[in-house]
Amino acid sequence: MITNIQLLSVLCLLTYVNAGLLQKSNEGKNNFK
């Protein structure tokens, strides 16, 4: 059974990864200007 703490940690990890990917893609776009 999955606990709420595990769910929260997974959500935090996903949001962190998504933010990192968005930052990288934005930097890439800026470099190609």
Q: Which tokens in the block code for residue 31?
A: 């470099």
pLDDT at 17: 93
Q: CA 33 to CA 24: how far, in whole Å?
A: 15
State which residues form the domain around 15.
1-26
Copy the structure tokens of residue 3: 């606990």
Asked whether residue 33 is assigned to any structural domain, the reply reads: no
Q: Is residue 2 part of a domain?
A: yes
Nearest to 12 by CA among 23, 22, 20: 20
Domain assignment of residue 31, yes or no: no
How does pLDDT run across 1-33, given as a tens digit for each residue? 779 999 999 999 999 999 999 888 887 777 765
In this prediction, residue 24 carries a pLDDT of 84
Beta strands in 1-33 (DSSP E): none
pTM over 0.85: no
How far is residue 16's CA from residue 18's CA, in Å, rounded to a whole number? 5
- Is 32 contained in some domain? no
